[in-house]
Chain A
Amino acid sequence: RGPARNSTKSNAKTMRAARALLGKALVIIEHNNKAVSTPSLSAVGAASKLGDVTALVAGKGCGAVAEQASKLKGVSSVLAVDSAEYEHGLPENLAALVKKVQDDKKFSHIVAAHSSFGKSVLPRVAAQFDCAIIADVIGIKDETTFVRSTYAGNALATVKSAKDPIKFLSVRPTSFEKAAAGGSAKVESVAATGETGLSKWLSEEVDTSGKVDLTAARVVISGGRGLKNGDNFKMLYEMATKIGNAAVGATRAVVDAGYVPNDMQVGQTGKIVAPELYIAVGLSGAIQHLAGMKDSKVIACINTDAEAPIFTVSDYGLVEDLFTAVPAMMKKL
């Protein structure tokens, strides 16, 4: 009739633990048909806080991705489908698939990274189910309470989702630990839902130079207008190579000016990074740029303008011409 007195404490603890993880989460895995993307590893990490995690891997010739997903800690099952219509991550085709999977399996949470892929697909699915989307989640308090970033990270909103039967979450990769290898889930095949014919992939320009992934690098060195042109970014690429596991980022201004490609943009509407060390070179630190890097562990900056806003978030600030400072730093590295 009730727990025996001397085991009340351990029963309560077990009950608390059971209550803590009641969710059944589906993670829509982003990949390039060869490996799970770094942001998705964090999405799995985030989803593990909610309960059982099922990874959905849809692509073409993506067996290796399904295999890798099945070996991630926290993943209890993998749903995989290999079909041409999913090869390039077209949202119209993927949304139809997720709808079918959800209708069959009834997850309580559907999760994706808040990346260009996740942003494209997840809201489309949420609308199909007449549910809200909780975007850019930086914290999970429990299965219904989440913290999300708004106003370029200047206002953090804690929201509770009590009305929607399915919680749709796009999570900020830098806020959640990446799922490590160490699991052993079964891979189950699911039926393809077909080509919607609404969009057609033509081509893709992907930077294949083997640069370190900006969102995964331990160190990020970013350049702004102070660099003056794209050629001068060579200094930063060299510094990144010297430091190792370092990537080069950029401000919106220099991407707009064509100095560097768009996938290097760090900021509110570019990439959000939170490396161990962020070195801001020749950039002033506009609100929108700070939004993309102010959670970095250590921030250093080099700028000739001592009043530049970047100094207000920097742990170490050097007021000097970057064309002298960067070479001087290189000698000491």
Chain B
Amino acid sequence: CNHFFALLQDLSSHKMKALVALKRVIDYTVKVRVRPDKLGVVKDNVKHSCNPFDEIAVEQAVRFKEAKKVTEIVAVSVGGPKTVEILRGSALALGVDKAILIKLPKDDSEVEPLAVAKILKGIVEKVKPDFVLTGKQAIDDDSCAVPQMLASMLGWSQGTFLSSVAIEGKAATISRETDVGIQKLEIKLPAVFSCDLRLNEPRYAKLPEIMKAKKKPLEEIDVAKTGVDVTPRLQIVQVSDPPTRAAGKKVKTADELVDKLKNEAKVL
């Protein structure tokens, strides 16, 4: 009788696995500069960190684990050698159980969203998570595409720009931030979720977890071994600075401001 009830309990609390995808990017505080050769931006000796939206994804996965919705979290990143620092510091040290680095030849190697999605599809097939969590966009490329492309390739539902997510059995109830407000959907699992700013506030790593992180498994797989063709589809013709604005002037009073806007700029 006891055995029967234990079995029932096990079946009803299906052990869920979350896969979190993150990216090492130039830190959001850095003033990005175009390279003199105009084919990219300066990355050497520039501060890099975990994409802020991916930190929100990690935090969400950890909260699910704390709430016992998820029993295992695996983090994955496509990046150069230094990306291990991000996997250890921003994932393993925060409660993620294991990490996988799909290693690119160099730290400044770039891979297009389409190829990243294909690589992640391979990882999903290997890890078999119940859902994937990632940030809504990478603050370097700003394409906002990987989660949707991955969901498409897997034939899974997608829940993008999440401001809230609750998992109940085989579905998730989500709120998404849209251009006109908030949309509530019910998403069938398995799914790919992309996290928006207000989903949660990521925690800071604490020393005991940082120490534990050093012993957690971190697997490195050469991108060549994934069988995915990462040759870019797009050719970069040029990378340029945005147009600069002419220097402005300071006005002394609100009256002067209105006067200038009306009579000089002629916008009021």
B141: CB under 8 A from chain A?
yes
**Residues in B whose Cβ lies below 8 Å from that of A88:** 183
A124 B161 Cβ-Cβ under 8 A: no
- Smallest CB separation, B255 vs chain A (Å): 6
- Smallest CB separation, A331 vs chain B (Å): 8
A97: CB under 8 A from chain B?
no
Query: Which B226-247 residues have a C-beta within 8 angstroms of A?
Result: 233-242, 245-246
**Residues in A whose Cβ lies below 8 Å from that of B254:** 302, 318, 320, 324-326, 328-329, 332
- Smallest CB separation, A62 vs chain B (Å): 16
Within 8 Å by CB of A318, from B114, B240, B251, B265, lies: B251
**Residues in B whose Cβ lies below 8 Å from that of A193:** none
**Residues in A whose Cβ lies below 8 Å from that of B187:** 198-199
Give the dominant DSSP class at A's interface: mixed
B253 A328 Cβ-Cβ under 8 A: yes
Count of CB-CB pairs between chains A and B under 8 Å: 263
A104: CB under 8 A from chain B?
no
With A128-B152, A198-B187 in contact, do A316 and B142 touch (Cβ < 8 Å)?
no
B32 A297 Cβ-Cβ under 8 A: no
- Smallest CB separation, A217 vs chain B (Å): 12
Closest residue to B188 on the A side, CB-wise?
A198
With A116-B178, A160-B234, A204-B184 in contact, do A256 and B142 touch (Cβ < 8 Å)?
no
B181 A261 Cβ-Cβ under 8 A: yes
Most buried by B among A130, A204, A215: A204
**Residues in B whose Cβ lies below 8 Å from that of A49:** none
**Residues in B whose Cβ lies below 8 Å from that of A131:** 114, 233
With A123-B113, A127-B148, A320-B254 in contact, do A199 and B186 touch (Cβ < 8 Å)?
yes
Within 8 Å by CB of B153, from A127, A269, A328, lies: A127
**Residues in B whose Cβ lies below 8 Å from that of A252:** 197
- Smallest CB separation, A324 vs chain B (Å): 8
A302 to B191, CA, bound (A): 45
- Smallest CB separation, B101 vs chain A (Å): 23
B260: CB under 8 A from chain A?
yes
B139 A152 Cβ-Cβ under 8 A: yes
Within 8 Å by CB of A158, from B29, B114, B238, lies: B238
B185 A200 Cβ-Cβ under 8 A: yes
Q: Which of A15-23, A78-86, A132-140, A176-184 contacts B (4 or more CB under 8 A)?
A: A132-140
B267: CB under 8 A from chain A?
yes
B140: CB under 8 A from chain A?
yes
Q: Which of A63-71, A161-169, A227-235 contacts B (4 or more CB under 8 A)?
A: A161-169
Query: Which B1-58 residues have a C-beta within 8 angstroms of A?
Result: 26, 28-29, 31-34, 40-41, 53
A152 to B31, CA, bound (A): 10
Query: Which A183-203 residues have a C-beta within 8 angstroms of B?
Result: 197-203
A212: CB under 8 A from chain B?
no
**Residues in B whose Cβ lies below 8 Å from that of A237:** none
B235 A159 Cβ-Cβ under 8 A: yes
A315 B248 Cβ-Cβ under 8 A: yes
B237 A262 Cβ-Cβ under 8 A: no
A241: CB under 8 A from chain B?
no
A135 B248 Cβ-Cβ under 8 A: no
A262 B250 Cβ-Cβ under 8 A: no
B67: CB under 8 A from chain A?
no
- Smallest CB separation, B107 vs chain A (Å): 17
A202 B186 Cβ-Cβ under 8 A: yes
Q: Interface readout for B110-145 with A: 1 if CB under 8 Å, 0 if not?
A: 001110010000000000000000001101111111
A306 to B250, CA, bound (A): 9
A256 to B64, CA, bound (A): 22
Q: Which of A5-13, A50-58, A143-151 contacts B (4 or more CB under 8 A)?
A: A143-151
- What are 7 A-B pairs with beta-carbon distances under 8 A? A119-B160, A151-B139, A158-B237, A160-B235, A262-B177, A276-B267, A320-B253
